[in-house]
Amino acid sequence: MTATEMLQIIGESGQTVGDHETDLTPDELVAMYEAMVRTRGLDERMINLQRQGRIGFYVPSTGEEAAQVGSGTVLLKDDWLYPSYRMPGTLLMRGVPLRDMIANCYGNEADNCFGRQMPVHYSFAKQNIVSISSPIGTHIIQATGTAMAQKLRGTKEITAAFFGDGGTSSNDFHSGLNFAGVWKVPCLFICSNNQWAISVPIEKQTASETLAQKAVAYGMPGVRVDGNDVLAVYKAVKEAAELARSGGGPSLLELMTYRRGPHSSSDDPTRYRGNQADEWLTRDPILRFRKYLERQDLWTDKKEKEATERIKNECNALVKEIEKLPNPTTESLFTDVYANVPPHLREQYKHLVETEGEGHEPDPDAAFPL
Which residues participate in catalysis according to the annotation?
A: 259, 263, 272
Bridge partners, 196 (sequence order): 201
How far apart are the C-alpha atoms of 105 and 111, rounded to whole Å? 8
CA 26 to chain centre: 25
How far apart are the C-alpha atoms of 43 and 313, rounded to whole Å? 14
Longest dimension (CA), the chain: 72
Comparing CA positions, the residue from 164, 147, 132, 137 lying closest to residue 80 is: 147
53 Ramachandran zone, left/alpha/beta (phi>0; psi -120 to 50): left
Q: Cβ of 171: how many Cβ atoms within 10 Å?
A: 11
Q: Which residues contact 115 (CB under 8 A, 6 or more apart)?
A: 107, 108, 327, 328
